[in-house]
Structure 1
C-alpha cells in the first residue's frame, strides 16, 4: 500500500469535497493518507453546501483514522484556532508530509 500526501489549498466546495472523498477512498483501500490544509483550506472544517458537504467528508476521513494538518500561519491570519480534527502545523510539517509520501496530490 502507498503513502499518499494530499495538499489542499481551497475551500471551494466541490474541489474541497472531492479532495476529502479521494482521501476517504484511498484510506478505505488501505493506503496511509495525510492531508495538509493550506491557505483558505484551513476553513474547511464546518464547511457545508447543499450538494457538497465538505465537513461530512472531512469528518469521515478523520473517523477512519486519516490525519489532517493545518497551516498555523494560515489559521492565525484568519483568527482561527487549532482543532482536534485540524491541529496547528508548520511549513516544516508540510515538507515532511511530502518527503514521507510515495505520491503527493494537490487540490
Structure 2
C-alpha cells in the first residue's frame, strides 16, 4: 500500500507518533511518504526528552521513507532541512494523488 502522511504540527508527542506509525508501516512493506507543512517543517529541531522525534525521523529515512518539506513554510521560518528536500505544493499534491491512504497529524 502507498501511504501519504501530512504533518502540520510541531507538538513533539504528535510528531513522534506520526513517525512511529510511518516506521511501523515501512516495516509492514508499505511505501510511505511524509510531507511537512506549516509548523510541521519545524520537526527536525523539536527537542523533548520523552519524545525523540529526530531519532524516529532518521530511522524513517534509513529504512526508505521519503520526507518532503514545504519550501514556502521553511522560508517563512528562515529554516532549511537536513533530512529532506525543499518541496512545493505540487509535491504534496502528487503524494496525495498517488497514495492509497492519506493521514494528517
TM range (shorter): over 0.9
**Kept after mapping to 1: 8 A contact 2:69/2:86:** yes
Which one of 78, 101, 104 corresponds to residue 103 of structure 1?
101
Corresponding residue of 1:94: 92
Give the Cα separation in 2 of the matches to 1:56 and 1:79.
Answer: 23
- The alignment covers a number of residue pairs equal to 105
Gaps of 5+ in 2: none
**Aligned partners of 2:69 and 2:85 also within 8 Å:** yes
Deviates more, 1:48-57 or 1:17-26: 48-57
Give the TM-score taking structure 2 as reference length. 0.96
Instruction: Name the counterpart of 2:74.
Output: 75
Say if 2:52 is the partner of 1:53: yes
Shift of 1:16: 0.3
Determine the structure 1 residue equivalent to 2:29.
30
In the superposition, the TM-score normalised over structure 1's length comes to 0.94
Residue 39 of structure 1 corresponds to which residue in structure 2? 38
Shift in alpha-carbon separation, 1:46–1:82, aligned structure 2, 3 A:
closer
In structure 1, list runs of 5 or more residues that go unmatched: none
Does the 8 Å CA contact 2:9/2:15 hold for their aligned counterparts? yes
Q: Structure 1 residue runs of 4+, over 6 Å off?
A: none
CA RMSD of aligned residues (A): 0.9
- Verify the 8 A CA contact 2:16 2:51 in the aligned structure 1: yes
Residue in structure 2 matched with residue 10 of structure 1 by the alignment: 9
